[in-house]
Homo-oligomer: A and B are copies of this chain.
């Protein structure tokens, strides 16, 4: 979820969702929905509910700052029926990041009851981690540098413990027509349900393959079996692992 009217009004290109989707995919997480909404309480609440209805993990960016339209924390708390309370831990994090006295920045120390503030080593506003049953919600700032730091410090350690492993491979073929490659791939799609195949309309055609497994050993075995089968099925020029 990316929050900000500057996104829905097309004033800035949202790059956060792509960065996060890429990171989550590399850890074997299947991203089902990316939603951008304006700085409007009802839309933020709708987006959160829409994510929670199908996902175990929700990551939001944007709306954690100190201005009038930064309402993500308030809207999320409201959607979950939680009160905002002053977190001394969050306040101390803010104090450590502000030169001089904390004034208007105190706003960012009010987080949903029971949630945990996440130290922001790049900016001022802490992130927030909310646990709802088996589900985790992470609220991150919209500034890419701050978002990435908190993601790496807190979200990545969590998802890397998920027990799911993933490898992304680029296969360059000698084929000219995407539709031909697509037809040739059909039996592999049925056989390898743990793999995702995406053909690209380049000449010659390229395929991105994402393989998922429950252990590193299984991942190696699956990648090897798949590459052998791809070489039998298609005219393969090269295979490259990207992450």
Interface: A35 (CB within 8 A)? yes
Interface residues on chain A, size class: 35 or more
Chain B residues contacting A201 (CB-CB under 8 Å) are 65, 143
- Whether B24 lies near A19 (C-beta < 8 A) is no
- Whether B185 lies near A68 (C-beta < 8 A) is yes
Residue of B whose beta carbon sits closest to that of A39: B198
Question: B5, B7, B20, B66: which contacts A10 (Cβ < 8 A)?
Answer: B20
Which residues of A6-28 have CB atoms within 8 Å of chain B's CB atoms?
6-15, 17-25
- Whether A35 lies near B32 (C-beta < 8 A) is no
Interface: A60 (CB within 8 A)? no
- Whether B33 lies near A7 (C-beta < 8 A) is no
Q: Quickly give the copy total for this chain.
A: 2
- Whether A8 lies near B32 (C-beta < 8 A) is yes
Which residues of A40-67 have CB atoms within 8 Å of chain B's CB atoms?
40, 43, 47, 50, 65-67
Nearest-Cβ distance from residue A196 to partner chain B, whole angstroms: 7
Question: B5, B11, B50, B68: which contacts A186 (Cβ < 8 A)?
Answer: B68
Interfacial residues, chain A to chain B (CB-CB below 8 A)? 5-15, 17-25, 31-38, 40, 43, 47, 50, 65-69, 104, 143, 168, 178-179, 182, 185-186, 189, 196, 198-199, 201, 208, 210
Given A8-B32, A13-B15, A66-B179, output 12 extra A-B contacts at Cβ < 8 Å: A6-B198, A8-B34, A9-B31, A13-B13, A33-B43, A34-B35, A34-B36, A67-B182, A67-B199, A68-B182, A68-B185, A104-B179
9 pairs, CB–CB < 8 Å, chain A vs chain B: A8-B21, A9-B22, A10-B18, A10-B25, A13-B13, A13-B15, A13-B18, A35-B36, A67-B182
